[in-house]
């Protein structure tokens, strides 16, 4: 009667299919180990933790290297740690590409994907991030770049921090909240830019004579306009003419609106996301109550769903409870005649 809503849940990394050769089993295991650990898979969990630690340390190293005194003192250590990091990340990258054919969705989506599944993986955002994490080192080592570029390449290593996004389900939620309301956010950004343009132009007219340096041109005035409309308000540049101050005061008020816009959109997006996830949990609860009792297995499954949906315990227990009541009511209505009190069947 009720539809199983599982199709909306983040898909689990189980690989359906026929029995496999030893080679295939090794590849599948590699895939499982590198993916976010499913509950119970200890080895995969340890590998996750190890990689997260290494990413964090590697990012910390980039940050610390920028401090002259630390860099001078620990130059060698930084060098060997970088070598170690790149080796590990390179092995990780190769293994990921190799085992990517084991992904449940591999070879499904399009013709190119089914013929070159590894190529398709290699152009996904997370694979590109993985590549960017190691490429600078090889480019430097190969002598392809040098001099001024070196510094830039070093900083590119900081993008390794994005490798962390792979391990958090909350990032997915956030990205979903953004993408489901992309149009509203783009509109908010457009409005910010239009208003910023008008604010900068206005301020340019009021202040350019009094402060020919800070408000020399509209682009120059944009620095003030951005700082004001986002309510950051550095205060390094401020209007000094009476007209500029009156106009500037109006712009600060408009700035409050500019901040309110994305906040309001995001608040409504999160409220909606919460509702959608609660609805999904409700469907599952309804199914679980269908036979009038919740077994230990069903309770387990519901708890897993709750956790994966990121629902709070209070909300979940209330949904479960109200579905119990609904189920009882429906049962009553269906099985007992309201007039004679006899069972319908």
Q: Which of residues 237-276 bind a second copy (CB under 8 A)?
A: 238, 245, 248-249, 252-253, 255-274, 276
Nearest approach in angstroms of CB 98 to a second copy is: 28
* Contacts of a second copy in 109-168 (CB under 8 A): 151-152, 155, 158, 161-162, 164, 168
Q: Is 216 in the site for a second copy (CB under 8 A)?
A: yes
Instruction: Name which of 39 and 314 has its Cβ closer to a second copy.
Output: 314
Q: Token pair of 201, please?
A: 């132009």
- Is residue 232 within the footprint of a second copy (CB under 8 A)? yes
Residue with tokens 């295939």: 24
Pairwise CA distance, residues 35 & 232, whole Å: 40
Residues 15-54 that bind a second copy (CB under 8 A): none
Instruction: Pick from 176, 295, 304, 331 the residue near a second copy by CB under 8 A.
Output: 176
Q: Considering the complex, state which of residue 31 and residue 281 has its C-beta at the smaller distance from a second copy.
A: 281
CB 215 within 8 Å of CB 203: yes
Residue 225: CB atoms within 10 A of its CB come to 24
Residue 205 CB, shortest distance to a second copy, in Å, is 6
- Say whether residue 68 binds a second copy (CB under 8 A): yes
Among 51, 86, 192, 214, binds a second copy (CB under 8 A): 192
Among 51, 54, 62, 103, binds a second copy (CB under 8 A): 62
Q: Which two tokens stand for residue 195?
A: 């208003």
| Footprint on residues 314-333 left by a second copy (CB under 8 A) | 314-315, 317-318, 321-322, 324-325, 328-329, 333
Q: How far apart are CA 316 and CA 293, in angstroms?
A: 17
- Return d(Cα 311, Cα 305) in angstroms, integer: 9
Check binding of 11 to a second copy (CB under 8 A): no
Burial of 34 (0-12, 13-18, 19+ CB in 10 A): buried
Residue whose structure tokens are 């682009």: 219
In the bound complex, what is the minimum distance in angstroms from residue 100's beta carbon to a second copy?
A: 25
Q: What is the chain's alpha carbon radius of gyration, rounded to the nearest angstrom?
A: 29
Where does this chain touch a second copy (CB under 8 A) — which range of 77-85, 115-123, 140-148, 306-314?
306-314
86 touches 120 (CB < 8 A) = no
Strand partners, 336: 343
Cα 104 from Cα 288, distance rounded (Å): 27
Residue 189 CA to residue 262 CA, distance in Å, equals 8
- Cβ of residue 63: shortest distance to a second copy, in angstroms? 5
Identify which of residues 116 and 152 has a Cβ nearer to a second copy in the complex.
Answer: 152
């Amino acid at each position: 009667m009720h539809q199983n809503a599982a199709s909306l849940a983040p898909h689990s990394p189980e690989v359906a299919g026929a029995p496999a050769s030893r080679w295939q089993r090794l590849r599948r295991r590699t895939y499982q180990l590198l993916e976010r650990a499913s509950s119970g898979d200890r080895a995969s969990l340890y590998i996750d933790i190890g990689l997260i630690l290494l990413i964090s340390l590697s990012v910390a190293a980039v940050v610390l290297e920028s401090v002259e005194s630390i860099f001078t003192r620990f130059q060698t250590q930084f060098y060997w740690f970088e070598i170690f990091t790149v080796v590990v990340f390179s092995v990780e990258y190769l293994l990921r590409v190799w085992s990517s054919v084991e992904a449940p969705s591999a070879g499904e989506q399009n013709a190119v994907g089914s013929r070159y599944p590894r190529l398709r993986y290699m152009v996904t955002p997370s694979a590109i991030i993985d590549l960017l994490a190691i490429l600078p080192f090889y480019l430097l080592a190969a002598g392809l770049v040098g001099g001024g570029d070196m510094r830039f390449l070093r900083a590119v290593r900081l993008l390794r921090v994005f490798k962390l996004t792979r391990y958090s389900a909350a990032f997915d939620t956030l990205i979903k909240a953004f993408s489901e309301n992309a149009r509203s956010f783009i509109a908010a950004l457009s409005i910010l830019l239009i208003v910023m343009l008008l604010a900068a132009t206005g301020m340019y007219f009021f202040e350019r004579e009094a402060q020919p340096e800070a408000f020399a041109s509209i682009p120059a005035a944009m620095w003030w306009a951005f700082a004001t409309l986002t309510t950051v308000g550095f205060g390094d540049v401020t209007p000094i003419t009476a007209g500029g101050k009156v106009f500037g005061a109006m712009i600060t008020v408009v700035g409050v609106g500019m901040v309110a816009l994305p906040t309001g959109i995001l608040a409504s997006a999160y409220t909606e996301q919460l509702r959608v996830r609660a609805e999904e949990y409700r469907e599952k609860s309804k199914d679980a109550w269908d036979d009038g009792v919740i077994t230990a297995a069903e309770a387990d499954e519901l708890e897993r769903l709750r956790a994966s949906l990121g629902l709070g315990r209070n909300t979940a227990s209330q949904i479960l409870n109200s579905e119990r009541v609904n189920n009882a009511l429906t049962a009553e209505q269906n099985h007992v005649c309201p007039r004679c009190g006899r069972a319908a069947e």
